[in-house]
């Protein structure tokens, strides 16, 4: 654990990419095989489920520290993170136990069958034998919520540099449905299992936001234009009579979309397709909120299949009968895709249509009206572009329409975590409903460091009530909230849910009397 703790401390202590790379390189050189495997497992989402209730952890920590609940809650409110709070309130370790990360993870995994008493003994003995930093990491691992303080690309670059490989080759090697006890770290990273995994997806080709005038891209005829849909991006893989569906977040979601799986099994060819999973009913794409009802379910009922039918708008062909097509220009891949779908398409597999326009002005008009078909804007893909690994500026652009915005007032605040644990940075906003305020969204981003400090001072001076780490704030600060979509929701007091809300700007020019009314906001829903 000591080597892993050193890595985590180094990653959290700097924002400089080069220093993060150095820390990762040092870990790769020093750590044992099992710990390096767990680094990859944690990075790719292969975490053990939570086997210890956090309420029990809190109770045990208060017993050991000998403090009352109110003092624990005050500490939690100040720190902003449960795992770190527990690690801080516990007394100094009575002894030190040296175990590797992999040894700790193996023991944590066995807790699913342990009694509460056995769990308490294991956890409290661990706390008594770990340093503060190692306790914090242990608590996060125990809760199943551990996050590495490093971007995906930085980790990929460190692995590529360590093994003297191309970064895109490393990305492809570590994706997929690999199991820790069936691979070795060196062979996994160096691609020994790449060709043997039927389920293995390709790294997704990603687009940059278009932040310049489209005319600067050259003739509009050089670009393949599609609607940008708000669904789940997925790779559909059919190899050797098996079908696998991967989300962009590298989650295997095949069983959540049985109609897509069944349709692809009817194809007589092996393919890898890239497309967007959407609820499509009566010839229309429905809001993302409809698709959300289909997600993360173990069983999809016949009623749900009928009421929320999912299709895949297919927009790229990456592999055909075992041949990797990604280096071909998209205009060639598109031609091959169109021929495939002419032969085999039907039901939920649909060709994503391209948009023709005589010039950029005409395309601007089409983009402006894209919400009428529940689209977020347009995708621009240069017709000569290959299917890149990750992002490569210049070939693919997402040209989104301007977000929706409303004016809302701050009513609740909570301190952040990590570097923001000293400041109130988690905000809840409300709008009017007659003479009362109803909460409508939480937002965490959009303010500068200077503005965060200013809001923090206001909250400290104008907090009305406190509920654990949450502060009720005098409703005076007005903010413009931007969001990508809106839908009706029974789970929110306001009756609506916002998609991707964030703070657009602080409206110091407005008072709480000028915020938006919920009935007017509901008129945005199509």
Which residues participate in catalysis according to the annotation?
A: 228
Going by their DSSP bridges, the two strands 375-382 and 223-229 should be labelled as antiparallel
Those residues whose C-beta lies under 8 Å from the C-beta of residue 371, and which sit 6 or more positions away, are 401, 526
Distance CA 427, CA 444 (A): 6
Q: At what angle do helices 132-143 and 101-109 cross, to 10 degrees?
A: 40
DSSP state string for 141-171: HHHT----SS-HHHHHHHHHHHHT--HHHHH
How far lies 254's CA from each of 268, 276, 299, in Å?
A: 19, 14, 12
Do β-strands 436-443 and 485-488 pair in parallel, antiparallel, or remain unpaired? unpaired
Contacts of 213 (CB under 8 A, 6+ apart): none
Tokens of 468: 């654990």
SS3 333: helix
Q: Label residue 351 exposed, middle or buried (CB < 10 Å: 0-12, 13-18, 19+).
A: middle
Supply the angle between the helices 167-174 and 152-163 in degrees, to the nearest 10.
110
The answer to whether the CB of 228 falls within 8 A of the CB of 401 is no
């Amino acid at each position: 654990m000591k080597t892993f703790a050193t890595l985590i401390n180094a990653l959290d202590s700097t924002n400089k990419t080069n220093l993060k790379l150095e820390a990762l390189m040092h870990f790769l050189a020093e750590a044992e095989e099992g710990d390096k495997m767990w680094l990859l497992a944690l990075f790719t989402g292969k975490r053990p489920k939570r086997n210890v209730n956090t309420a029990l952890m809190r109770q045990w920590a208060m017993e050991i520290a000998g403090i009352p609940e109110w003092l624990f809650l005050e500490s939690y409110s100040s720190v902003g993170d449960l795992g770190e709070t527990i690690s801080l309130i516990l007394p100094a370790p009575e002894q030190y136990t040296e175990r590797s990360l992999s040894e700790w993870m193996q023991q944590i995994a066995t807790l699913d069958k342990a009694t509460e008493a056995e769990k308490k003994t294991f956890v409290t003995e661990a706390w008594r034998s770990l340093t503060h930093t190692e306790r914090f990491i242990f608590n996060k691992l125990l809760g199943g919520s551990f996050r590495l303080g490093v971007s995906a690309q930085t980790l990929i670059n460190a692995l590529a540099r360590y093994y003297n490989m191309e970064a895109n080759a490393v990305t492809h090697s570590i994706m997929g449905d690999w199991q820790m006890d069936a691979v070795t770290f060196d062979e996994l990273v160096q691609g020994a299992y790449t060709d043997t995994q039927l389920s293995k997806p390709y790294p997704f080709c990603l687009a940059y936001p278009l932040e310049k005038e489209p005319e600067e891209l050259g003739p509009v005829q050089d670009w393949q234009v599609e609607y940008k849909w708000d669904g789940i991006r997925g790779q559909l893989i059919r190899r050797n009579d098996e079908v696998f569906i991967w989300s962009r977040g590298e989650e295997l979601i095949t069983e959540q979309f049985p109609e897509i799986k069944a349709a692809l099994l009817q194809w007589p060819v092996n393919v890898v397709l890239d497309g967007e999973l959407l609820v499509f009913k009566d010839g229309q794409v429905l809001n993302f909120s409809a698709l959300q009802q289909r997600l993360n379910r173990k069983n999809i009922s016949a009623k749900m299949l009928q009421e929320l039918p999912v299709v895949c708008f297919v927009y790229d062909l990456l592999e055909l009968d075992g041949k990797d097509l990604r280096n071909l220009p998209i205009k060639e891949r598109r031609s091959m895709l169109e021929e495939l779908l002419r032969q085999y398409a039907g039901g939920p597999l649909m060709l994503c249509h391209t948009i023709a326009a005589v010039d950029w002005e005409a395309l601007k008009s089409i983009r402006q009206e894209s919400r009428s078909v529940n689209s977020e804007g347009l995708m621009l893909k240069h017709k000569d572009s290959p299917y890149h690994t990750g992002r490569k500026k210049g070939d693919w652009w997402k040209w989104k329409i301007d977000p929706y915005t409303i004016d809302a007032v701050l009513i609740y605040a909570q301190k952040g975590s990590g570097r923001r644990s000293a400041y109130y940075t988690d905000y809840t906003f409300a709008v009017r409903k007659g003479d009362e305020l109803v909460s409508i969204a939480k937002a965490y981003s959009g303010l500068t460091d200077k503005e965060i400090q200013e809001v923090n001072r206001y909250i400290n001076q104008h907090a009305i009530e406190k509920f654990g780490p949450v502060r009720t704030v005098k409703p005076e600060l007005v903010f413009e909230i931007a969001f990508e979509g809106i839908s009706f929701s029974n789970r929110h007091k306001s009756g609506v849910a916002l998609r991707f809300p964030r703070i657009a700007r602080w409206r110091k020019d407005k008072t709480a009397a000028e915020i938006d009314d919920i009935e007017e906001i509901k008129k945005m829903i199509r």
